[in-house]
Chain A
Amino acid sequence: MDLIDLFPLLAISDIGMKYIAAGLAMGLGGAAPAIAIGILTGKAMEALGRNPEAQPVITTNMILGIAFAEAIAIYALVVAVMIGFVF
């Protein structure tokens, strides 16, 4: 008897694998940018606390850095959407 006959719940279809892949792509791919944005914003807050007068400069550069970090999460999202809906 195959393993699949003993435990029919272990059967995974093609489409099931597709959904797992899409979920993993977004989940794992969104972890690192989240940490990066957190560190970035934390450092920006520190700099702001030391020198409140430089607020426009700090805020502008912080948003710039966040855009770069967020782009990686967006790549992961696009891959997840492609896996889920195009393949």
Chain B
Amino acid sequence: MSKLRLILIIVGVFALMLVGFLSLRSARPVVELAAETVVTVGPVPVTNTMITSWIVIVLLIGFFFLATRKMSVVPRGLQNFGEMILEALFNLAVGTAGEKHGRRFFPVVATIFLFVVTSNWLGLFPVVATVGKVVELGSHGDKFHAEGAVFNEVGGINVIMPGVPSWPPHEPESIFLEVPDDAPLEEKEAALHEATADLKEDEKAAVLIPFFRSVNTDLNATLALAIMSAIFVEFWGISTMGFFRYAGKFFNFKGGLVGLFVGVLELIAEFARLLSFTFRLFGNIFAGEMLFLVILFLLPVVVLDFVYGLELFVGLIQAYIFAMLTLVFGVIAVTSHEESDAHEREHQVS
């Protein structure tokens, strides 16, 4: 690459960053930990993560349905792609757990991996987290929206545009009420009045509630996956070794006092794994979403691409880790202490 081209590229990148910083920034991000309810069907509130998870399910079922129509012995096209994915997962399962157990573990592990990776990558779609309905600030039922931006239309479908290109460049307008959460309602309303006093006629202070949101940014979703994984691990252990032998791993009366203590520690570790699974997946994906919003606010256009790449990578790795850890804990659950001791002695001798 000639030197001139290199210089031109560097100048172009900086110019793009400057343009992005001046006129394409979005308002200060409103980070909501809990998933927002979009619609209430009877007594059941439907959150935006729920809607996205249905889309993930439809996508997965649709893909594998299309891949298994008119199957041929020599695969081509979609069937080839599907077989590639499944073969990789199968080799992972059998390689880690051995031939007999690997076949048993494979469906659950593959499902976990495919669901998590699809939902993580779907959360990077342009439509997710940007298209939603705009709700005015203030109290709605028992929830008081205290943070938002200045919108031109309220109600209906709207889009967070990363700073409608503004000229002359100015800081995007956001409304942040600095009242603590447990302040009385009058104080919050007074702060809201004060902040919106100088708005023009057609501008309203409102907040965007997205219609779709990445599934694993909801703590309930990751907790559900973790509970499912834990139940399967226990099931594999009990069905392989029988209930009393499996329980004997945790309430180990034969090993004396030390054995009893270690058994209790292992029991606690089983429950700690639930929390660890939940927060690992939730933290990674939620932090990625927050990073996106903050970069949109600070320095869009160029840095965002790097963040996008990071999120793609992290989504894949977290899915792999979740599936892999389920597999590893399953292997630990089905090997009793005598087997693993015999294994170790074997390896030592040879």
Cross-interface CB contact of B181 among A81, A82, A87, cutoff 8 Å: A87
A positions within 8 Å CB-CB of B: 14-15, 56, 60, 63-64, 67, 70-71, 74-75, 77-78, 81-82, 85-87
Cα(A63)–Cα(B280), bound, Å: 14
What total count of A-B pairs have CB within 8 Å?
47
Cross-interface CB contact of A78 among B181, B279, B325, cutoff 8 Å: B279
Q: How far is the CB of B181 from chain A (nearest CB, A)?
A: 7
A75 near B321 (CB under 8 angstroms)?
no
Residues of chain B with a CB closer than 8 A to A87's CB: 181
Q: How far is the CB of B262 from chain A (nearest CB, A)?
A: 19
B positions within 8 Å CB-CB of A: 31-33, 95-96, 178, 180-181, 276, 279-280, 282-284, 286-287, 290, 317, 320-321, 324-325, 328
**What does DSSP make chain B's interface, helix, strand, loop or mixed?**
helix
Cα(A67)–Cα(B324), bound, Å: 10
A75 near B324 (CB under 8 angstroms)?
no
Residues of chain A with a CB closer than 8 A to B321's CB: 63-64, 67
Cα(A12)–Cα(B280), bound, Å: 33
Q: How far is the CB of B11 from chain A (nearest CB, A)?
A: 35
CB closest residue in chain A, given B318: A67
B31 near A71 (CB under 8 angstroms)?
no
A81 near B33 (CB under 8 angstroms)?
yes
Cross-interface CB contact of A75 among B96, B279, B290, B320, cutoff 8 Å: B279
Cα(A14)–Cα(B181), bound, Å: 12
| Nearest 3 pairs of A and B residues by beta carbon | A74-B283, A67-B321, A71-B280
Cα(A86)–Cα(B95), bound, Å: 43
